[in-house]
Amino acid sequence: MEKLFALTPYIPLFPLLAFALIVLWANKNNKLSAGLAIAGLGLSTIISWLIAIATIVGGEHVQVEGWSLTIPWLPTGTGVFNMGFAVDGFTAAMLFMVPFVSSLIFIYASEYMEGDSRYARFFAYVSLFVSGMLTLVVADNLLLLFIAWEIMGLCSYLLIGFWFEKDSAKKAGLKAFLTTRVGDVLFFGGMLLLYSQTGTLTFREIFTPAVLERLAEATIWGQPASVVISLLIFGGAVGKSAQFPLHVWLPDAMEGPTPVSAMIHAATMVSAGVYLVARMLPLFAVVPVGSLQWVAIIGAITAFFGATIGIAQNDIKRVLAYSTISQLGYMMIGLGLGGFLAGIFHLLTHSFFKALLFLGSGSVIHAMEHGAHHAHDHETDPQDMMNMGGLANRMKKTYIAYMAGTLALVGIVPFAGFFSKDEILAEAWHQAGGFNFGSIAFWAWLAGLLGAFVTALYMGRQIGLVFLGKPRTKLAEHAVEPGKRMTYPLLVLGFFALTLGFINIPKNVPIIGNGWLHEFAGLIYESTEVLNLEALPLNWGLAGVATIIGLAGFFGGIALYRGHQAGQSDPMVKLLGRPLFTLLKNKYYVDEFYFAVIINPVVKLANFAGKFDYDWVINPIVNFVGNTGKWLSIVSGEFDRVVVDGLGVLGTARFFRWMGKELRYTQTGQVQNYLLVIALVSLSLVGAYLFGLGF
Amino acid sequence: MVEQIVFFIFTILVLGGGIGVITTKNIYYAALFFSASLSGMAGYFVLLNAGFLAAVQIVVYIGAIAILILFAIMLSRRMMTTKEQQTNRQTWLAAIASFLLFVALLGVVMQVTWPLSAEKHADNVLVLLGMSFLGSYVIPFEVVSVLLLVSLIGAIILARDIQTEEGRE
Amino acid sequence: MSAIPLSWWIFVATALFMIGFYVALTRKNAIAILIGLELMLNATNINLVAFDRYITPARVEGQVFAVFVIAIAAAEAAVALAIFIAAYRRRGTVDVENLDSMKF
């Protein structure tokens, strides 16, 4: 069974192969391209699941210590840098999720993207994207992880800007690329520091008590090295996982095709950041008070504010985008409080139900576009929830699946989100130890709880606006359920949204309690002795409160919006007051803040530097030097032409030509002339002799 | 004294012939004056105790060269009757140059004190000449004979009427 | 010894030489120039024989040279006249001013 692990390198290879084949060979044939992408990822999925199963049956030995394959990759001055792959319980859990969700998205996209002029290219990109994510998951060291990370960064840029004819898409791609780049630089800096401190980037070698202790004792800039390094690495995660304050790219990433949104927000991109933090968690935790708290604080801020923005958005995908940001905040809370398992549990469940929601919204948009086509109305925005309504009757399968995803997100028993979110809140409550206002954990818990309510509210609003009530436009009236390739993936994901929570029901729940994921994936860092890996029992009271809050928000939202009429003002305006609503609608003006504080000054500085260069100083100097040189060369050229050439070269030539021309007359051809000259010369010689000159 | 009178007579013949060559406009007369000058020269050679040379002068110079010149002039008949200007444009310059050079050379030559010998001149000049030509000067003598042969052949070839020859063939 | 001083011979020789020289310088007719040259050669001969008679009376080297000069003059005259006849036949003239085809 363990021989199966040797297949690990093939997991990222097949999508990569599909990418290469599509780009180099199949790009003219749409069906073949999609087939190649799905086949490549399908093979990866099979291998991944085999390995996941092998890990499960392998027992604790395999799950905790895992399997690894390293090769000496780059000889360095002091040793050899090793590259390789590794699989442990956590990786196996990711391997269960990533390729599976991605392949469902692929199947979905093969229908969704039909008719697009760059259909083949889309599948090439997403194949590369998934390949990057799979490499990242199975990487055994930080550098390989970083390489995969950057491949994903590139692919996200390409895919978000996929419809680059649209100016907004082009800009969104650039924004995503540049914003995540901020985090990447920090990440890379952290990686370099880590390497300089330890001489290795392999996880297994870093996460030994001895190395961790050394990192905790060493100092960089007066702080423990582990804190500095981990905060820098967290910076990378903030960028990738769209945490405050680098969350701004993610809502704009909605400009990409919807399957891409699902990919980015569920299975791959944003998961990478959380995965990174989870993977590096012992480093965060080795100093008790340090970086970990910041993870929790950032997570709490993101969870709450992301959710609140969501309630004021009208674009169906934007609501989900802010929901993603908010949910990623939850994961960060979980990880930041040392709840390793809480974080990754939510990561797994969220991947499923958020992929479901995005694909569901894609189906809705697809249906709306179909309606627009039918009604010959291309002015109305098919993504605006205000233009929808009553879609539940027209697209039942989508509605059912979407409802499952919504309930999972809201956290209603027994859907997946209930268990994972509850675990995070329980962790926070446990660490806070009750109403402890001085504890970060308490505020994180409060933010999470309020966020859960807001989440329920905007999801209720969404359900009410999209699926319930009556159609508000012709588009919604003519919406049609999409085909099987789009609906079946939704139903499969819906099934997992319902059931995935069962893999880690706390043990104190009667009959079905198992704590299985905890044992499977939660213990991998047990040996580092720095993490709190204790499995918390279900806190019935907290769970009850959370459920009640969720239900209240959800049904409140539905109640507010199910009767919403076209042209009516948003009921939320009345509820919150216009200033607050405007604030939320404009996303707390973070984008504007960035424009005012960073982007515009930078542009101004660039303009100033440009002017400085071009108009004021450098260019005039350059021109002056250039012109001086030009004039000097002209003068020198004239000197050459007139003096050297004219007088020297040509002058000599002319002189001799003139002399030859004149003296030519002496050569008369008359022998007697010559004889006369001889006479005269003889005469002068004899005369000279006679008068004593020179003799 | 008699010698001196004879010298003057020959001198008149020699220089008079030379001046005649200069002054006459007819090339034929010039050739005749030239012959007169040559014959005066022969007299000189007699005075100078060079009887053989005098004979050679008359036989070769007058009898061969001068006659050859006269024949050449007569062959080109037009020359005899021409009234064209016989001199070129540098007459005066040439005259001045020649006269000055004459004075200068004379000046140089007269300055020299010649080592005159008081010995009696040889009686057997002809014998001595024969000894010299076939003794110490035999090689120049032979070379000159070859030269004469070559110039003879060359003159024939040069003077040959090529067009007539070609016409014949 | 002799009634005639050496300087007289030298004078006559020089005069004759310069006459010949003048003829060679001024005459247009090639045959006239040839005559001038012959005069110069004769002037030389006078000198050769005179010096032989006055400086080395017992020897005849001067007369030997004079014979050579005469022989060479004969050869010269023969070749020159042959050339003139050929030139005359080609061009109808022996005017040296017209024989300048080697001029630049």
CB A354 within 8 A of CB A344: no
Across the interface, do C24 and A672 touch by the CB < 8 Å criterion? Answer: yes
The gap from C-alpha A477 to its chain's centroid, in whole angstroms, comes to 37
Chain A residues inside the 8 Å CB shell of B100: 683, 687
H-run or E-run covering A71:
strand A67-75
Residue A3's pLDDT is 76
Query: Is the minimum CB–CB distance between C94 and chain B shorter than 8 Å?
Result: yes
pLDDT(A290) > 60: yes
- pLDDT-derived band of residue C102, with 50, 70 and 90 as boundaries? low
Between the two ends of chain B, the Cα-to-Cα distance in Å is 67
| Coil/strand/helix, residue C95 | strand
Q: Report the range out of A9-13, A632-636, C100-104 with the highest average pLDDT.
A: A632-636
Residue B165's pLDDT is 53
Convert the pLDDT of each residue in A125-143 to its tens digit: 889 988 999 998 888 888 8
Residue B33's pLDDT is 92
Query: Pick from A670, A683, A690: which is nearest to B97 by CB?
Result: A683
Residue B17's pLDDT is 92
Convert the pLDDT of each residue in B132-158 to its tens digit: 889 889 999 999 999 999 998 998 888
**Number of cross-chain residue pairs from A and B with Cβ atoms under 8 Å apart:** 30
Query: Is the minimum CB–CB distance between A671 and chain C shorter than 8 Å?
Result: yes
Across the interface, do B106 and C75 touch by the CB < 8 Å criterion? Answer: no
Across the interface, do A680 and B104 touch by the CB < 8 Å criterion? Answer: no
- pLDDT-derived band of residue C100, with 50, 70 and 90 as boundaries? low
Looking at residues A296-308, what average pLDDT do you find?
Answer: 87
d(CA A569, CA A119): 39
From start to end of A400-446, where are the E strands? Answer: none
Chain C residues inside the 8 Å CB shell of B75: 85, 88
Looking at residues A606-627, what average pLDDT do you find?
Answer: 82
pLDDT above 70 covers a percentage of chain A that reads: 97
- pLDDT-derived band of residue C1, with 50, 70 and 90 as boundaries? very low
Convert the pLDDT of each residue in A585-606 to its tens digit: 777 777 778 778 777 888 888 8
Query: Pick from B88, B90, B105: which is nearest to A686 by CB?
Result: B105
Residue B2's pLDDT is 84
H-run or E-run covering A82:
strand A80-87
d(CA A43, CA A18): 11
Q: Report the range out of A50-59, A522-531, B137-146, B151-160 with the highest average pLDDT.
A: B137-146
Looking at residues C6-21, what average pLDDT do you find?
Answer: 91
- Count CB-CB contacts under 10 A for residue A289: 7
DSSP of C9-35, one letter per residue? HHHHHHHHHHHHHHHHHHB-BHHHHHH
Q: Which of residues 4-23 of C touch B (CB under 8 A)?
A: 4, 6-12, 14-23
Q: Which of residues 20-39 of A touch C (CB under 8 A)?
A: none
Closest Cα in chain A to C29: A672
d(CA A404, CA A493): 9
pLDDT(A334) > 90: no
Chain B residues inside the 8 Å CB shell of C77: 64-65, 68-69
Across the interface, do C25 and A669 touch by the CB < 8 Å criterion? Answer: no
- Domains annotated for chain B, with CATH where assigned, are 1-80 (1.20.120.1200), 124-169 (no CATH)
Convert the pLDDT of each residue in A186-221 to its tens digit: 999 989 888 888 888 888 888 888 888 888 888 888
Looking at residues A270-287, what average pLDDT do you find?
Answer: 84
Residues 6+ apart with CB under 8 A from A383: A315, A316, A317, A365, A368
Residue at A541: amino acid letter: G
Looking at residues A366-384, what average pLDDT do you find?
Answer: 80
Mean pLDDT of chain A: 83
Task: Give the bridge partners for A80, in sequence order.
Answer: A75
Residue C42's pLDDT is 92
Residue at A577: amino acid letter: G
> Higher model confidence: residue A279 or residue A377?
A279
Convert the pLDDT of each residue in A554-583 to its tens digit: 888 888 877 777 777 777 777 777 777 777
CB A390 within 8 A of CB A471: yes
Residue A477's pLDDT is 78
Torsion angles phi and psi, residue A566, rounded to 5: -60, 135
CA distance A664 to chain B (A): 18
Chain C residues inside the 8 Å CB shell of A679: 21, 25
Closest Cα in chain C to A679: C21
* ipTM of this predicted structure: 0.88
Looking at residues A74-78, what average pLDDT do you find?
Answer: 74
**Number of cross-chain residue pairs from B and C with Cβ atoms under 8 Å apart:** 229
Across the interface, do B98 and A687 touch by the CB < 8 Å criterion? Answer: no
pLDDT(B82) > 70: no
Across the interface, do A668 and C100 touch by the CB < 8 Å criterion? Answer: yes
List all chains that touch chain A, counting a touch as 3 or more CB pairs closer than 8 Å. B, C
Residue at A361: amino acid letter: S
CB A302 within 8 A of CB A368: no
pLDDT(A31) > 50: yes
Convert the pLDDT of each residue in A219-242 to its tens digit: 888 788 888 888 888 888 888 888
Across the interface, do C101 and A675 touch by the CB < 8 Å criterion? Answer: no
Across the interface, do C100 and A672 touch by the CB < 8 Å criterion? Answer: no
C-alpha distances (whole Å) from B122 to each of B128, B129, C39 are: 9, 11, 28
Residue A465's pLDDT is 84
Which of A358-362, A555-559, B64-68 is the least confident region? A555-559
Chain C residues inside the 8 Å CB shell of A669: 100-104
H-run or E-run covering A68:
strand A67-75
Residue spans per domain, chain C? 6-91
Chain C residues inside the 8 Å CB shell of B147: 71-72, 75
Chain B residues inside the 8 Å CB shell of C18: 98-99, 101-102, 105
pLDDT(B79) > 70: no
**Which of B100, B102, B109, B112 to substitute to test the interface with A, most A CBs within 10 Å?**
B100
**Number of cross-chain residue pairs from A and C with Cβ atoms under 8 Å apart:** 24
Give the residue ranges of DSSP H helices in A311-395: 316-336, 340-375, 391-394
Closest Cα in chain C to A680: C25
| Coil/strand/helix, residue A445 | helix
pLDDT(B169) > 50: no
What is the reported pTM? Answer: 0.63
Residue A475's pLDDT is 77
Closest Cα in chain C to B126: C60
Across the interface, do B94 and A682 touch by the CB < 8 Å criterion? Answer: no
Residue A59's pLDDT is 75
Q: Which CATH number fits domain C6-91: 3.40.50.10480, 2.130.10.10, 3.40.50.2300, 1.10.287.3510?
A: 1.10.287.3510
Across the interface, do A687 and B108 touch by the CB < 8 Å criterion? Answer: no
Query: Is the minimum CB–CB distance between A670 and chain C shorter than 8 Å?
Result: yes
Across the interface, do C31 and B27 touch by the CB < 8 Å criterion? Answer: yes
